[in-house]
Structure 1
């Protein structure tokens, strides 16, 4: 890999390269914009594992989400259920392993509903015949207060965001079994876990919680399962980037011509995804939608930039106007104080007005000193800035 850049003719070659790198490292992180080929790369990686063995990769991507679909009970509008496509090998041996308890342990950190995994027999018309079929489904319920008393409402339809969190926790429970190599586990064949965009349609607060939860799960594992995580989501990638400090980190790009794809090593330098993080911070500042975790993101970004520009530490980088410069000293102390304790993973707090102004001052000075392309940071329209 010359100058941290490797080029490839196709995604199969990229997948082969990642497998070679995973012989040396436990984790690989990929940042790539939508349309680059992230999901197709995950399938190429999976298919390589079927050449010599039946399979070796447990994967989460858009195809995993397609294994679940809603039956909304259009006739009576009362029994809404999420059905599982149990003909998929993903579910082989899984449903007899108390998987619901494992899912619930992960899910209740994010949402307030509960669920049951159930089976029933249904009748399906096939021409002139009626065929009986057993289906597996998930029924959701939520406790509500009615006249001051708690009541459980069954067979509810959860929101799209809640559904995404449920599907993610379902997969994560299976991944935990693969990582832990539990005796009799249906996932004892897993050598690799490949996760592509687990939070593609979730808001930023969920992105932080999901990335932190995933990072902790991987770090707590002592097994030899290797993991690839790809995402276009700047905030999610920034958190998982910090959680898995020893991971290999790349930017995946697609190109026209003979070298169709490239991987840029971003492990030690501020590159590509850091610009995406800066765009996210700039947008949050302009909308005045600033949370305490944004200070952690800004600090990480500035530390990478300080290293890139040859400064010994973050303090020297911020205090460019001299050791006694009041703005530099103040900004450094603010970043140190407000970043203390890391991200607010599960209960993000909005900044106080004074801290919002400090954040904007630090961000604006950073962007002014290092002259990023202004085209990347458009002014918000009146409509966008108010809703």
Structure 2
């Protein structure tokens, strides 16, 4: 039997969500860990996961999520007139904050925040605002990274109460966490990953009293039965260090690890099992540029992607200069100059500029020479999902 990782293909995002939910429910997994580089659609996937739960439960949510939308639940009042009392407003219309005032989470938020930052905070529940302070200086404007880490600490504190089984969050059956380490340095990325993994292990082992039996007279059982009520989770990230730490911390738990890919940024998706390493994304990127080169659909940003691949390869072999990957090849100086020149321009993947024919040929020469030197086994991630069978023509 082949020991190659399996590749699962999906024609749209909803089918992909069905697979993830099946892994967590019928599949018996505690967690699903997704690695995907930016532009794949991780945030939209987290929202679709949440929406599918609401549709299944007659508009009742079952997923507490953290993603870019969570960060948008907070907005700054910069006090432009007096420039002295800057506050962060809380959007209380969201179920994310249901029961926040009653739970008095300041102590737990502060517990996490002290691990990552040096500022303090105050919550005004009458105005639903947050103000920050350092030393004697109050109402300071924290950086974007500090703001994000504060919001993350709020989420972690809420998750603790979810695991405790508080009434206001009884609806939570799943956690979906997408890239919680925006703007964080490596030290904080490791700390966040470690703290998250610790909390997720508690979530999967959660136990609660079993509901009373309908025919059981009240007061008969002095000690109610305690039964497992686990909370399952999906974690997605483009950050290799964060993903590695989470994988290592959760390696003793039942989980699936996937590389998530969206070929050519279309509507279809692939999930490739990645049991050994999360760094499969570099190989996937190489497969993408190879497919683009073979098809002739090459754009300016592909030079940026190719240079990134060469840099990662050089680093793997202990070199600082990507030029070692083309050194000694025919026209190696031309290849290095072309990669330097073309990859230093700013190109948008959303407004792609197609390469002229001469540059297409040069790109193909560099790529083919690189692949001839380094024998990568490129995955078949571009085969499209099987199309639905066409309806039979009417007689």
- TM-score norm. by structure 1 comes to 0.64
Whether 1:192 and 2:174 are equivalent positions in the alignment is: yes
Q: For 1:1-387, what aligned pairs fall within 5 Å after superposition?
A: 3-23=5-25, 24-53=28-57, 54-120=60-126, 135-143=127-135, 152-182=136-166, 184=167, 186-221=168-203, 222-223=205-206, 224-245=230-251, 246=253, 247-256=255-264, 260-268=268-276, 272-273=280-281, 279=312, 282=315, 371=374
Q: Which has the larger strand fraction?
A: 1
8 A contact 1:234–1:280 mirrored in 2: no
- Cα distance change of structure 1 residues 225 and 274 upon mapping to structure 2, 3 Å threshold: farther
Residue 198 of structure 1 aligns to a residue whose secondary structure is coil
- Cα distance change of structure 1 residues 194 and 176 upon mapping to structure 2, 3 Å threshold: same
8 A contact 1:234–1:273 mirrored in 2: no
> 1:268 deviation in Å?
4.0
Residue 158 of structure 1 aligns to a residue whose secondary structure is coil
Residue 17 of structure 1 aligns to a residue whose secondary structure is helix
> 1:180 deviation in Å?
2.8
> 1:88 deviation in Å?
1.4
8 A contact 2:34–2:237 mirrored in 1: yes
Q: Distance in 1 between matches of 2:18 and 2:138?
A: 47
Which moved further from structure 2: 210-219 or 255-264?
255-264
8 A contact 2:37–2:281 mirrored in 1: no
- TM-score norm. by structure 2 comes to 0.62
Deviations 1:266-313 (CA, angstroms, capped at 9, x unpaired):
12467514769993993997679xxxxxxxxxxxxxxxxxxxxxxxxx
8 A contact 2:61–2:171 mirrored in 1: yes
Q: Distance in 1 between matches of 2:11 and 2:17?
A: 11
Q: Distance in 2 between matches of 1:112 and 1:74?
A: 25
- Cα distance change of structure 1 residues 251 and 106 upon mapping to structure 2, 3 Å threshold: same
RMSD of aligned residue pairs (Cα, Å) = 2.8
Residue 86 of structure 1 aligns to a residue whose secondary structure is coil
Q: Distance in 1 between matches of 2:317 and 2:250?
A: 25
8 A contact 2:35–2:278 mirrored in 1: no
- Cα distance change of structure 1 residues 20 and 158 upon mapping to structure 2, 3 Å threshold: same
Q: Distance in 1 between matches of 2:313 and 2:92?
A: 39
8 A contact 2:261–2:269 mirrored in 1: yes
Residue 50 of structure 1 aligns to a residue whose secondary structure is helix
Deviations 1:68-111 (CA, angstroms, capped at 9, x unpaired):
01101011111011110111121121222111112111111111
